[in-house]
Amino acid sequence: MSITLDHVNYSYSVGSAYEKHALKDVNLTIKDGEFIGLIGHTGSGKSTLIQHLNGLMKATSGTIYYNGKDIYDNDFNMRELRNKVGLVFQYPEHQLFETTVIKDVSFGPKNQGLSQLEVDLHSYEALKQVGIEEDLIDCSPFELSGGQKRRVAIAGVLAMRPEVLILDEPTAGLDPAGRDEILDQISKLHKERNITVILVSHSMEDVAKYVDRIIVMNKGEVVYSDVPKKVFANYKVLETIGLAAPQVTYVMNGLREQGIMVDTNATTIHEAKEEILKWARREIIEG
């Protein structure tokens, strides 16, 4: 289930005083089952980009192919695309509207035209996946805590069983525990159901642990698209566009500058520890 973007451009409010070129010649391929981190500073065009992937926004020029089919073809079924590519917006809890949690989560599957049995099945399963306890499902979604609301809203998209799941800053405004919980659940989903996941964030730290590939955007352009290690190696460039590599990258580079020969490619705390221990062993044996 690959998505290919071919020379995609997008401008807001064409012809008015507020015209803004938000996407500039974007070329990307997103392969089946990939876990991608889409990173960029505020206003870098990442939210605009993801709205193109399920056809909510139409490129000013360029083409997008879903499984090889041009989504701007007249006979392309846009509804079908939106069923396959699930998009969780920023602060998704702001879109809750139903009287009970379960009714809200069922909104998506119901729109897919499933039978009542399937709707219930998918909705309960999605709520379980995001870790919402059964005693909450008949509550009003407005009575829940912020973190719970967010998870219910994510379940609302999961219940549609998308093949590609896009999340726009799913951890914005959550505490560290809530953040880890949501990211762990997404990672688990990715492994268990083998769906493609695109995680939008402005924090390298958050995504480094989970993703296979990082796409860095700046001012509407794709700057890097590579495995995390290779992207973080350019940490000096990242700083110039208002981003930062994970703390670990800085620690490892700092150590190296002090003459401690460790591999600067370590991206997680665990890898860094192994690297430093490896160096220590070498030093002890040699010394």
Partner 1 sequence: MIRDITIGQYYPRDSFIHKLDPRTKIIGTFIYIISLFFFRKFIPYLVVFGFLGLVIKTSEVPLKHILKGLKSIMFLLIFAVVFNIFLTPGDILWKWGFLKVTRQGLETAGFMAIRLVLLIMGSSLMTFTTTPNHLTDGLEKIMNPLKKIKVPVHEISMMMSIALRFIPILLEETDKIMKAQMARGADFESGNLIKKAKSLVPLLVPLFVSAFRRANDLAMAMEARCYHGGEGRTKMKPLQYHKQDGIAYVILFGYLAVLVIVKLISPF
Give me the residues that bind partner 1 (CB under 8 A), please.
12-13, 16-17, 51, 54, 56, 79, 82-83, 86-87, 89, 92, 94-97, 107-108, 111-112, 142, 156-157, 160
Which of 102, 272 has the CB closer to partner 1?
Answer: 102
- Cβ distance to partner 1 smaller for residue 130 or 204: 130
CA angle 47, 49, 51 (to 5 degrees): 70
CA distances from 76 to 80, 119, 134, 161 (A): 9, 25, 39, 20
How near is the Cβ of 109 to partner 1 at its closest, in Å? 8
> Shortest distance, CB of residue 83 to partner 1, whole angstroms?
7
Three-class SS state of 207: helix
Residue placing its CB nearer to partner 1 in the complex, 83 or 196: 83
DSSP classification of residue 18: T
Q: How far apart are the first and last CA of the chain?
A: 54
C-beta of 11 vs 253, nearer to partner 1: 11
CB of 255 to partner 1, least distance (A): 45
Task: Specify the residue, 159 or 183, whose C-beta has the smaller distance to partner 1.
Answer: 159
Whether the CB-CB separation of 185 and 130 falls below 8 Å is answered with yes
Pairing status of strand 213-218 against strand 85-88: unpaired
Taking the complex as a whole, how short is the minimal distance between the CB of residue 270 and partner 1, in angstroms?
36
Listing DSSP states for 213-281 in one string gives EEEEEETTEEEEEE-HHHHHTTHHHHHHTT----HHHHHHHHHHHTT----TT--SHHHHHHHHHHHHH
Give the residue with the Cβ less far from partner 1, 54 or 196: 54
- C-alpha span between 6 and 69 (Å, rounded): 12
Selection from 175, 119, 113 nearest residue 146 by Cα? 175
SS3 88: strand
CB of 65 to partner 1, least distance (A): 20
Measured from the CB of residue 108, what is the shortest distance to partner 1 in angstroms?
4
